[in-house]
A and B are shown apart, each in its own frame.
Chain A
């Protein structure tokens, strides 16, 4: 069986198999969190079709320009990030296709010092209850991870 097929198969069987990964790194020179989130293009295409119409095609040769706006609207709405209980503003930079995945680039300016970080990410929870979003957060030499799923869509990481 093919690997992609195993992902599709799980839809009916409910294996915890749908995964997006976000690498989040603090850049001390700009005082920004830098997020690169990787989502399978098929998955995000499915969710956009469910929301905005079945004709949406991602990564086609002549891709519709409004797709970029739809991806942004969807992806950005799934994130909430706080530092010391204060909501942070997310600057969406854009997306890039990488074979069967789409990479999302988001920049998050930190005001003041970074300490208690709250992350919520609900990407694709509206499509399948089996979705998992893994966040790898790196601040200096410290690395911490969060595993988010629909019953547990957020978490707090302390960096002191």
Chain B
């Protein structure tokens, strides 16, 4: 017996060699292929990742020697409303928590992006245009252009002595009297002013808008010289601000006083510490009500009051004072034409204020929805990450804006003058508020480096935005009616297919600096968001994903994570090796395309088939040399006989004898009796090794779904076969039936090949029906 099995094993081993030898006989001897490095798609990312160290652990968590710098600011700001100028004096206390001695400091001067000598326009290729918007023509070719950029009056040390400083475009190097040792602090002050740009003209991230009545709404940010980040991964992050890649900022505490015309209202990052000085008694009363209103916003300033204020122009001024702890930035919004509302939202064991500030131009959309969207967003993001740690989140309405700062953001979504608005405007407004309020979590708190990695804040945020949009739709069905679920543009896998199927010359991997990508929106936002959604829904499952995602967020809350910290944490907390996914989805421009190449049907028989008989003969063996075998015969092959169709496993003598010899009647009763045997060959024209999600549809109408993990592709990247033993006949196989893998070509996803009624034909038959 033992000998027979040994012989059989030897025979099987030689089977593949025989086939290999046959192929070689027919062709001229091929050149021996050279060796190669490990190019397997499941190879670990040792070469792409940096080596873990004391600052950043292999687990993806901050290491025992992790450090981050701190920058505390005391600022006094004055707005000149008439001339649209902003003046400021700031004192920065910079703490060197690094183990390095710093010879100089780098300060960011983002406003210089709009200075007359800015180099941003110079790196943009330009060709002759057949036509151009009149406004851009004027700004580009007529006149001197806007006199933007910081005017630095002085930079001084604590004692008032001038400090040597060098401005290199959007970065300023400040030299200290002596090098800053580890653990030491350096205190210095900067006095500056600048002309505030009209953000509706040149699309600045901050600035003012002029309303039809002549009043201005100011949304002010990047308004003060800001410390650059010094870290263990980049040293000084002093890559210039060209206008696209956003910001890298250290955490710190802010004390800011802002002086504006006395008829303005104002809200900003941080706790308003002199509320009683700047609020009227009636505003205080309404504010107390708002703190207890959990279901609807309470107006602090009504539309009527805002419109009345808009008719005047105060000559006096008022100073608003804010304290903000552990924020990386500061922004504020102010106008006499602002309506202001608030409501409370319960997050964990605390109350947070959801706040909206908007001109009458935003109504009725804004009074109806803005604050509710803010509240819903805080709940969703807190569930996915950590309880929102700040005391408020403000959504400010500014035309065409969508920009985020700690606790405050600017959002578009403006109805027509008659108050009507399209679905596009409404969903645009919901989406942008969810997105920008969501940025409080990424990158305001999970403080990644936006200058280098757009996807770490925009992509991750767009992913959670998708979850929050779906939550909002469920919480407010009236807001999205007649849709049953929120119509999210980004998140679902099939929404990224067009981009993934695009011309390879025009694609860049996600792991590319934003400035250097072709399609910034898809690269920085949609593709990473979709990748995380695929991980959550298809590859990891919600439980494992959510735990790991939360682990990442909590580990890096109020810290500076890198892409690797994210990648490592997701694996560390889930025990799922995702290197193949990071490699293909984040480091390459590969796409998904998996299909059914062929399906062969087999019958089981005890009659020896040709393949085995020929091998036996070649080796001079007889059937007696073999243990009892069952043979598979392909339908339509030379061994196939019609009566095999009707035979059952009971007719296979070798199998019956084996079963009767070795099994009790009870054991026999428990046996499955598969009747149909299929060899299904899957092909993978695409580079990404996604799981194969296969629906097997049986003749009785039932469907069975089998998901083969992506690792099925580890040894053969092009095609792989599976044997399916079934008691029922398979009539149909569909790959990725729910369109969850971003498969760019679904024409090979069905067996038998199915003529799908495409979007085009559906549209055509619909218009015929009308």
Interface residues of A (CB under 8 A from B): 1-9, 11-17, 19, 21, 23, 25, 27, 34, 36, 38, 41-42, 50, 57-61, 93-94, 96-97, 99-100, 103, 105, 107, 125-129, 134, 136, 141, 143, 145, 147, 150-151
Q: Is B139 an interface residue (CB 8 A)?
A: yes
Q: B520–A8 contact, CB under 8 A?
A: no
Q: B244–A15 contact, CB under 8 A?
A: yes
Q: How far is the CA of A62 from the CA of B758 in the complex (A)?
A: 29
Q: A3 and B521 in contact (CB under 8 A), knowing A8-B400, A57-B416?
A: yes
Residue of B nearest to A136 (CB): B501
Q: B130–A15 contact, CB under 8 A?
A: no
17 residue pairs from A and B, CB less than 8 Å apart: A6-B244, A8-B400, A11-B133, A12-B136, A12-B139, A34-B761, A36-B759, A41-B424, A57-B416, A59-B424, A96-B763, A99-B424, A100-B424, A105-B760, A105-B764, A127-B131, A151-B127
Q: How far is the CA of A17 from the CA of B523 in the complex (A)?
A: 11
CB neighbours (8 Å) of B422 from chain A are 57-61
Q: B202–A12 contact, CB under 8 A?
A: yes
Q: B498–A21 contact, CB under 8 A?
A: yes
Q: How far is the CA of A58 from the CA of B518 in the complex (A)?
A: 28
Q: Is B181 an interface residue (CB 8 A)?
A: no
Q: Is B350 an interface residue (CB 8 A)?
A: no
Contact of B519 among A1, A2, A19, A129 (CB under 8 A): A19
Q: B763–A145 contact, CB under 8 A?
A: no
Q: A107 and B764 in contact (CB under 8 A), knowing A14-B124, A129-B127?
A: yes
CB neighbours (8 Å) of B125 from chain A are 14, 16
Q: A150–B503 contact, CB under 8 A?
A: no
Q: B130–A126 contact, CB under 8 A?
A: yes
Contact of A147 among B132, B401, B506 (CB under 8 A): B506
Residue of A nearest to B501 (CB): A136
Q: Is B462 an interface residue (CB 8 A)?
A: yes
Q: How far is the CA of A147 from the CA of B412 in the complex (A)?
A: 31
Residue of B nearest to A131 (CB): B129
Interface residues of B (CB under 8 A from A): 120-121, 124-133, 136, 139, 202-203, 205, 243-244, 246, 400-404, 411-412, 416, 420-424, 427-428, 431-432, 435-436, 458, 462, 487, 489-490, 498, 501-503, 505-506, 518-521, 524-526, 745, 747, 758-761, 763-764, 767
Q: How far is the CA of A9 from the CA of B128 in the complex (A)?
A: 20
CB neighbours (8 Å) of A36 from chain B are 759-760, 763
Q: A99–B506 contact, CB under 8 A?
A: no
Residue of A nearest to B242 (CB): A13
CB neighbours (8 Å) of A38 from chain B are 498
CB neighbours (8 Å) of A61 from chain B are 420-422
Which 4 A/B pairs are nearest by Cβ-Cβ distance? Answer: A2-B402, A129-B129, A5-B402, A14-B124
CB neighbours (8 Å) of A129 from chain B are 126-130, 132
Q: How far is the CA of A147 from the CA of B519 in the complex (A)?
A: 13
**Cβ of B470 to closest chain A Cβ, rounded Å:** 15
CB neighbours (8 Å) of B126 from chain A are 14, 129
Q: How far is the CA of A21 from the CA of B632 in the complex (A)?
A: 49
Q: How far is the CA of A136 from the CA of B422 in the complex (A)?
A: 31
Q: A97–B424 contact, CB under 8 A?
A: yes
Contact of A127 among B133, B402, B767 (CB under 8 A): B133
Q: A59–B423 contact, CB under 8 A?
A: yes
Contact of B458 among A1, A23, A60 (CB under 8 A): A1
Q: How far is the CA of A110 from the CA of B621 in the complex (A)?
A: 63
Q: How far is the CA of A97 from the CA of B763 in the complex (A)?
A: 12
Q: A13 and B244 in contact (CB under 8 A), knowing A34-B760, A61-B422?
A: yes
CB neighbours (8 Å) of B761 from chain A are 34
Q: B519–A17 contact, CB under 8 A?
A: yes
**Cβ of A25 to closest chain B Cβ, rounded Å:** 7
Q: How far is the CA of A60 from the CA of B524 in the complex (A)?
A: 30
Q: B518–A1 contact, CB under 8 A?
A: no
CB neighbours (8 Å) of B243 from chain A are 9, 13
Q: B432–A4 contact, CB under 8 A?
A: yes
Q: A2 and B124 in contact (CB under 8 A), knowing A11-B203, A57-B422, A59-B422?
A: no
Q: How far is the CA of A2 from the CA of B506 in the complex (A)?
A: 22
Q: A1–B246 contact, CB under 8 A?
A: yes
**Cβ of A59 to closest chain B Cβ, rounded Å:** 5
Contact of B758 among A34, A57, A97 (CB under 8 A): A34
Q: A9 and B203 in contact (CB under 8 A), knowing A60-B416, A150-B130?
A: yes
Q: A2 and B435 in contact (CB under 8 A), knowing A13-B120, A134-B503?
A: yes
Q: How far is the CA of A42 from the CA of B763 in the complex (A)?
A: 22
Residue of B nearest to A102 (CB): B424
Q: A3–B525 contact, CB under 8 A?
A: yes
Q: How far is the CA of A8 from the CA of B205 in the complex (A)?
A: 11
Residue of B nearest to A94 (CB): B767
CB neighbours (8 Å) of B421 from chain A are 61
Q: How far is the CA of A116 from the CA of B131 in the complex (A)?
A: 31
CB neighbours (8 Å) of B129 from chain A are 128-129, 150
Q: How far is the CA of A147 from the CA of B125 in the complex (A)?
A: 17
**Cβ of A133 to closest chain B Cβ, rounded Å:** 12
Q: A4-B412, A5-B400, A11-B203 are in contact. List 6 more A-B contacts (CB 8 A).
A: A1-B246, A6-B520, A21-B498, A61-B421, A100-B427, A105-B764
CB neighbours (8 Å) of B132 from chain A are 128-129
CB neighbours (8 Å) of A94 from chain B are 763, 767
Q: B763–A93 contact, CB under 8 A?
A: yes
Q: How far is the CA of A99 from the CA of B487 in the complex (A)?
A: 8
Q: A3 and B127 in contact (CB under 8 A), knowing A21-B498, A60-B422, A105-B764?
A: no
Scoring A5, A14, A27, A41 by chain B CB atoms within 10 A of each residue's CB, the highest score goes to A5
Q: B767–A93 contact, CB under 8 A?
A: yes
Q: How far is the CA of A1 from the CA of B222 in the complex (A)?
A: 13
Q: How far is the CA of A77 from the CA of B37 in the complex (A)?
A: 53
**Cβ of A136 to closest chain B Cβ, rounded Å:** 6
CB neighbours (8 Å) of A145 from chain B are 502-503
Q: How far is the CA of A97 from the CA of B427 in the complex (A)?
A: 13
Q: B124–A15 contact, CB under 8 A?
A: yes
Contact of A4 among B205, B428, B760, B764 (CB under 8 A): B428
CB neighbours (8 Å) of A50 from chain B are 133
Q: B401–A5 contact, CB under 8 A?
A: yes
CB neighbours (8 Å) of A23 from chain B are 498
Q: How far is the CA of A60 from the CA of B244 in the complex (A)?
A: 32
Scoring A9, A25, A147 by chain B CB atoms within 10 A of each residue's CB, the highest score goes to A9
CB neighbours (8 Å) of A14 from chain B are 121, 124-126
Q: How far is the CA of A93 from the CA of B235 in the complex (A)?
A: 58
CB neighbours (8 Å) of B487 from chain A are 99
**Cβ of B609 to closest chain A Cβ, rounded Å:** 34
**Cβ of B410 to closest chain A Cβ, rounded Å:** 9
CB neighbours (8 Å) of B120 from chain A are 13
CB neighbours (8 Å) of A100 from chain B are 424, 427-428, 489
Q: How far is the CA of A99 from the CA of B461 in the complex (A)?
A: 20
Q: B763–A6 contact, CB under 8 A?
A: no
CB neighbours (8 Å) of A96 from chain B are 763
Residue of B nearest to A38 (CB): B498
Q: A1–B404 contact, CB under 8 A?
A: yes
Q: How far is the CA of A14 from the CA of B139 in the complex (A)?
A: 13
CB neighbours (8 Å) of B502 from chain A are 21, 134, 136, 145
Q: A17–B520 contact, CB under 8 A?
A: yes
CB neighbours (8 Å) of B427 from chain A are 99-100
CB neighbours (8 Å) of B133 from chain A are 11, 50, 127-128
CB neighbours (8 Å) of B432 from chain A are 2, 4-5
Residue of A nearest to B755 (CB): A29
Q: How far is the CA of A11 from the CA of B126 in the complex (A)?
A: 12
**Cβ of A130 to closest chain B Cβ, rounded Å:** 9
CB neighbours (8 Å) of A13 from chain B are 120-121, 124, 203, 243-244
**Cβ of B743 to closest chain A Cβ, rounded Å:** 14
Q: B402–A11 contact, CB under 8 A?
A: no
Contact of B521 among A17, A127, A141 (CB under 8 A): A17
Q: B131–A5 contact, CB under 8 A?
A: no
CB neighbours (8 Å) of A150 from chain B are 127, 129-130
Contact of B436 among A2, A11, A21 (CB under 8 A): A2
Residue of A nearest to B770 (CB): A94
